[in-house]
Amino acid sequence: MLARRSATTLARAGRYYSTASAEAGNEFLAQRAAVKEHAKGTTKLWRNVSFFVCIPVTILGSAWTWKLEKEHHDHIEHLKHENGGELPVRPDYEYLNIRNKPFPWGMQALFFNPEVNVPAGPKE
């Protein structure tokens, strides 16, 4: 009798667990398919954002910066032309370009351009 009850209980439990695992498997597959569909849509969205927003904005920003720098260069050349080939002397204010301690690469800033920037040095 005990063996029969155990066998019946095990059979019922097996049916329950097989049904539960099948339902869980179907739910897992459904979630997996939903994730794949979401990934496809998201990938398409960001590809379109990259191609139709980021690239044109980068091109327009580059063109705007080139135009602005060209105007600046033309202005510098105009000032040189007006002053006999040299830039006009800038006022040497005591609070500008103070360097009490040199950078590891020297006294000037990392992107120092001698054509445009005033050389810095220690103020006394």
CA of 108: how far to CAs of 4, 48, 116, 122, in Å? 94, 44, 13, 11
- What pLDDT, on a 0 to 100 scale, did the predictor assign at position 96? 81
Give domain status of residue 101, yes or no: yes
Number of domain units in the chain: 1
- Which residues, given as ranges, of the chain have pLDDT below 70? 1-22, 122-124
- What pLDDT, on a 0 to 100 scale, did the predictor assign at position 66? 98
Q: Give the residue numbers spanning the domain of 109.
A: 92-124
Question: For residue 98, is it left (φ>0), alpha (ψ between -120 and 50) or beta?
Answer: beta
Give domain status of residue 117, yes or no: yes
Q: Which two structure tokens, joined as six digits, stand for 43? A: 């990938």
CA-based max dimension of the chain: 118
- What are the pLDDT digits (tens) for 60-87? 999 999 999 999 999 999 999 999 988 8
User: How much is the pTM?
Assistant: 0.55
Strand partners, 98: 121
Give domain status of residue 97, yes or no: yes
- What pLDDT, on a 0 to 100 scale, did the predictor assign at position 92? 79
Give domain status of residue 98, yes or no: yes
